[in-house]
Amino acid sequence: MTPAEQAVRAAIARRGPIPLDEVVEIALYHPQVGFYATGGRAGREGDFLTSPEVGPLFGAVVARSLDGWWIEAGRPDAFAVVEVGAGPGTLARTILAAKPACAPALRYVLVERSAAQRARHAEGLSLEDPAAAFASPLEPTDDREPTSAVMPSGPIVVSLAELPRLPGPTVVLANELLDNLPFRLLQRTDTGWAEVRLGLDGDGLAEVLVPVAAAGLPAAEPGARLPVSAAITDWVRDAVALAGPGGRVVAFDYVASSVDLVSRPWTEWVRTYRQHDRGSMPFEALGTQDITCEVAVDQIVPAPIVSTQADWLRRQGIDDLVAEGRRIWQERAAIGDLAAIRARSRITEAEALLDPTGLGAFHVLEWPGR
Ligand SMILES: C[S@@+](CC[C@H](N)C(=O)[O-])C[C@H]1O[C@@H](n2cnc3c(N)ncnc32)[C@H](O)[C@@H]1O
């Protein structure tokens, strides 16, 4: 039995069958025995590959978008970007490596709840003390002129465990965060909807169905299942408030409609990953594998503006960056230096990011700040 399963069994022994969001919370985020506390992570040497981990191109496109939003906002001299679920920090590193024009104004906050992942943020990023990084400029006094030296020049990068409180407008980014937030499962029965909970069954764990009153759910055959995530709704509410008027929230993820989800086997949309392979059944081997769930996009309030990742990346100029890469490669192929190899890699990275059967079919969810 895994240590995470022991923790789940202890919770069930105290309170009876527990909802699956509590199981996911323990399996992924328990501070000692959860998957993300014990080394699970994105990356080639980790458990799954995300868009920033494909290579630097995704970050270069996001850097270009940040510049566009910064210019649109009138080039504010403190431009706050909060990346939530930052994992090991690869997106931040690749954004900064792309040297966006907004860099001198940039206050970049990585938010990551796993301490093991946060420990990686200092690799290749020069982290500042959050309190100093967001200090207000000194007020002018009789004997001291306000100078630009009062606010340090960016990019200023800080790493936090939770969402900060910042005066908006702020850009809030999240790549593959929402699919990793805890969710409950409902099941259609002959008589209505029930919630799937996990209880004890001898030495093992067993599903228990608890009838629930549910309104507004799609028509479904008995046995069909549907994920419901209060954590996603709560996160979107907090992120939209953090972005504030004039800010924006941009989340990249795999999504589906509730109608689609009830028509497919639940093990198709709740997936597990371990060391780049699919893991075992979602509620087995707890703590040793990632558990992800396709995001039921129609359940999110407020409703996002939705694009495919391929369309969004094209709108943000990925084709220009690839054309530039192709040109540099043609000029430098004979030299074969790092610049040439990086330029050539843009072409293969773009193929992966735009692949309509892969990352290109992911979606980008956008909300204006409020
Ligand atoms: C699938 S990984 C994605 C990592 C990275 N964004 C990437 O694309 O490679 C999701 C990350 O979100 C983190 N996470 C989950 N819930 C969080 C929350 N409420 N606040 C901050 N980080 C969270 C997890 O610990 C994990 O590192």
Tens digits of residue pLDDT in 340-366:
999 999 999 999 999 999 999 999 999
CB 105 within 8 A of CB 70: yes
Q: Is 93 in the pocket of ligand 1 (CB under 6 A)?
A: no
Q: How confident is the model at residue 132 (pLDDT cuts 50, 70, 90)?
A: confident
State the distance from the centre of ligand 1 to the C-alpha of 25, rounded, in angstroms: 13
Q: Which of 113, 120, 234, 289 to mutate to test the pocket of ligand 1 (most atoms within 8 A of CB)?
A: 113
Rounded CA-CA distance 28/35 in Å is 5
251 lines ligand 1 (CB under 6 A): no
Please tell me whether the overall predicted TM-score, pTM, comes out greater than 0.85 for this model.
yes
> Domain residue spans in the chain?
3-34+184-228+255-293, 51-141+151-179+240-249+305-365
Residues 225-279 have pLDDT tens digits of: 999 999 999 999 999 999 999 999 999 999 999 999 999 999 999 999 999 899 9
Amino acid at 158: V
Ligand 1: nearest atom to the Cα of 43: 9
Tokens of 234: 């709560």
Instruction: Name the band, by pLDDT with cuts 50, 70 and 90, for residue 135.
Output: low
Which one, of 23, 19, 36, 47, lies nearest residue 6 by Cα? Answer: 23
Contact predicate 303/257, CB 8 Å: no
What's the pLDDT tens digit per position in 93-114?
999 999 999 999 999 999 999 9
Angle at 103 (CA atoms; ends 97, 109), nearest 5 degrees:
85
Mean predicted lDDT score pLDDT of the chain: 93
CATH code of the region 51-141+151-179+240-249+305-365: 3.40.50
What distance in Å separates the CA atoms of residue 92 and residue 85, rounded to the nearest whole number? 11
Using alpha carbons only, give the angle 85, 360, 113 rounded to the nearest 5 degrees: 5
The full length of the chain comes to 370
Q: Express as a percent the part of the chain with pLDDT over 70.
A: 95
Give the distance (Å) from ligand 1 centre to CA of residue 146: 39
Describe the crossing of helices 57-72 and 318-332 by its angle, rounded to 10 degrees: 130
